[in-house]
Every structure is written in structure tokens, then in C-alpha cells.
Structure 1
Amino acid sequence: MRDRLSFTRFLGLGIEASIPDGTTLWLFREKLAKAGLMDKLFERFGQHLEAKGYIARGGQMVDATIVPVPRQRNSRDENDQVKAGTTPRDWKKRPAKNRQKDKDARWTKKHGRSFFGYKNHVNADARYKLIRKYGVTDASVHDSQAFDDLLNKGNTSSEVYADSAYRSAETERKLKARGFRSRIHKRGHRNHPLSDAETKANTRKSKVRARIEHVFGAQENAPGGRLVRTIGIVRAKIKIGLQNLAYNIRRLVILERAAAA
């Protein structure tokens, strides 16, 4: 915070003011977690965005990104016990070790690579690229399992964009029943490749859907990236929620500057 005067001015701190240290910031996050206020804090800023005229427009884009945590050096037996919801006996005997073990994070594979951590499931509007809703799960949860909870009736457009991982007959039925228009990518199957028309339709959808990758890219390039160093899903939800909130704040600054230019 001392690196730039703009940081201290933004926080309302004077030159001689004491700067909150890492412990103070950690305690702030702990209080947010215990009070269960992260969702309310995010929603409150969402109301601020709408009050300034940044209403969700252009359709909604749904996607998920992996949020890594430091890898656990567990034995296969220990991992099996954690997945089963039990604590390995050796960890119980060593409380200090047990406190350092993340028993909520899970492994997953993407593009042939293994990742350990959580997932940030996001709904962003296509017009402003602002995050409107989000959810946090362990990394093993399939993207489509968080889909229903992310849908936002507040968007002025009924169109919903997502990649083919979200597509199923059940999802298409639910979207139609709730008044949404599916713009989810179609995928080919063995002996049933996509037609030329379907391929072209996917290309058109990609021009909109790809904008959500800008959201994740901005988070990755922000100080600290997406890595979460807390332990447990309760703290991970706070850290990821704050990352999403911080993204929206930075995005608002960009939108305001563009409007003033």
C-alpha cells in the first residue's frame, strides 16, 4: 500500500497513517467468513453497478475456471480417506499437521493436466463483462452442476451462452421452461459430426462467449493471480468472492473512463 500514493488515497489513509499488515487483512477475511457476509457484500456492489446504469445486458455468459491451491503431499490412502469425508488417523494425532491440510479441495484434470483446488463458476453479462453471479465448489465438480444456480433473470436479454460442457437435453428443457434462449455450443459425437450449419452457429456463439475469457484473463493477470493460499472451502469462498468483487471494481473504473473519454 505504500508503493503508490494513489493506493493510500483510495483507502483514505494519510502519509503518516499506520498501514494494515497481513494479519489485519487475514482477520478481516475471517470475520467476513464467520459472519457469512461475502454474498451480501457482492450483491451490494451489484446494486451500486445497476444504480450507475450498468444493468446486465446483451445476454449472459456462463463458464468456470480452476482456482489452484498449494498441492497437498498426501499418500493415496490419505487422499482416499479425505474423499470419503474422513480424517486420516495420523492427522488426528498431529493437530498442527491437520490444520495445514485442505480437506475440501479436490483434484481434477483439464487438457491432460492435473489441478488441485477449487472452481470459480461465473455468470457475466455480455455487454459490460461484469460478474453478476458466481459460485464456488471444489475442482472435481463438473461445470454443468453449478449451471442452474448461476442463471440471472435480471439480464435484459434472454440469451444464455456457454460451451458444450453445459449442453444436455435436460439443460435445454430447463432453459426453455424458464424463458431463456439457449446459445450453448453444440458438440459432435462419434459417427455424428456437426453439420456445416451447426459449426457456423458455434462460431457465431463463440464471438460472444469468448468475452468471458477476458474476465478470467484479467483475474489471472491481477496481482496475486487466481492462486488461493487459504485452507478449506469456507475461506476459499471468501478469497474467491473478494477476487470477483475486486474484478468488478476494476472493471467499473475502466467503463467509467471509457464513458468519460
Structure 2
Amino acid sequence: MQACFEEVNRQLDARGLIVRSGTLMDATLLAAASRKPDIKQGAGAGLEREPGASWTRKNGKSHFGYRLHVATDQGFNLIRAVVLTPAHVGESLVAETLIQGDEKAVYADKGYEHKGRRARLKARGCKDRICHRSHKHQKALPYWQTQRNKLIAKRRAVVEQVFGTARRVFGYARARSTSFAVNLADIFRLATVFNLRRVAGLPAT
């Protein structure tokens, strides 16, 4: 399925449909196919039948499953890269896999902020459009960083359409298998169909 995804993208690129003006990155949580481990098993308990799933917390709630990471182009919002990880793996750890290296800008929320990443983007002449986040020595973001974040958020919000389409159109609210390999193949299949569906809706040229 990965080979299929890459071949479809190669053909789309040959037709000039992959736009390199910017890469938009984001991630979402995907519930495991199995029920959550019983709370009596203790915090962080896993499941033998679904070893690829893990725990994380978001907005004060616990989630058991996976994290789906995607990168889309800024032009037609076509998926250029997908990564599936256990839920505890954060966005920043996967960012370098999502950055394509041929884009002119990278857009992402504050979860991707990293000083070294900003430096690497600057070194190769790529515009850094990663949101800022406050730290322990800073009570609040400076005004200019707050405004910059708002401008970036408007541009990068488009990537969230991938997750909305996955849930509404394909009914992909949770993993469909207890096998990590099968789920990963499913993600590549989803990305391939998403891209074909996107270009099918484009005006004929």
C-alpha cells in the first residue's frame, strides 16, 4: 500500500498537482481497535493482543490507541507523507519525516516547535512557519508571537480537512485491526484514496 501511495503521488506530481510552496503538518489521535485496558491493570497498561497501541493524554482526557501524522501540500491539500505511531509518540518526534525538503515553507502548530528545527529550515532557505509556545521562563507569549501564531493558524488549518474527511467520508474514527502493520497499510490506502478523491474534484485543465 505504501508503494501504491507513492506511485499515485508520482503520477500526480508529473501532472503538476503537487505544489511545493509549503508543507502543512498536523496529527490526530486514533482510537485502538480493542477496548481500553481495564483500569485495575494500573496506569499505562497495554494489551497483549494490540501491542502497537499506547496511552496518552490530551485536553485532560486519556486516550488509548495511535497517533496519525500527516503532511499535505499548501496548494491542493494533497497528502505527501503519512506516519502512524503509538499514541504516546509526540508530533515533534515525527516532524523530520514529514518535512519533504523541497518545500518553500513549513506550517505547523506549537507542538512542532524546536530550536534546532527552526535553524535547519533557515539554513536551507525554507520559511519557518511553526507556531511559538511559551516556556517556563515566560509567563505569556510576546504580542508579536501571538499575532504570528494567529496568521500561521489560518494557513495550516487546511490540513485538518484530512482528518475530517477520514472520519465523515471513510468512517475512520478508530483503527480497524489489532495489528500495527495492517493499520499502517490501511493508513496508506486511506491517503491514496484521499488524494485521488481530491484531484477528481479539481476543475479539468
**1:105 equivalent in alignment to 2:53:** yes
8 Å contact kept, 1:56–1:132:
no
8 Å contact kept, 2:9–2:80:
yes
Greater share of strand:
2
**1:48 equivalent in alignment to 2:5:** no
Aligned-pair CA distance for 1:61: 0.6
Equivalent of 2:79 in 122, 128, 131: 131
Aligned-pair CA distance for 1:192: 3.7
User: Which one scores higher on RCO, CA 8 angstroms, separation ≥ 6?
Assistant: 2
Give the CA RMSD over aligned residues: 2.1
Aligned length: 202
Percent identity for Structure 1 against Structure 2: 32
Poorly superposed stretches of 4+, deviation over 4 Å = 77-80
Q: Extract unaligned runs of 5+ from structure 2.
A: none
**1:161 equivalent in alignment to 2:107:** yes
Which one has the largest radius of gyration? 1
Letter in 2 for 1:109: R
- Matching residue of 2:2: 39
**2-side partners of 1:250 and 1:195: how far apart?**
41
Equivalent of 1:73 in 26, 37, 57: 37
Aligned-pair CA distance for 1:44: 0.2
**1-side partners of 2:2 and 2:123: how far apart?**
27
Aligned-pair CA distance for 1:131: 0.3
- Matching residue of 1:247: 194
- Matching residue of 1:60: 23
CA, structure 1 residues 203+79, in 2 after alignment: closer, same or farther (shift >3 Å)? closer
8 Å contact kept, 2:31–2:174:
yes
**1:225 equivalent in alignment to 2:169:** no
- Matching residue of 2:145: 198
Aligned-pair CA distance for 1:260: 3.4
8 Å contact kept, 1:57–1:128:
no
8 Å contact kept, 1:61–1:123:
yes
TM-score, normalising length: structure 2 = 0.89
Which deviations, in whole Å up to 9, do the C-alpha atoms of 1:95-134 show, x marking residues without a partner? Answer: xxxxxx2011111111112221111111101111000011
8 Å contact kept, 2:82–2:187:
no
Equivalent of 1:117 in 54, 57, 65: 65
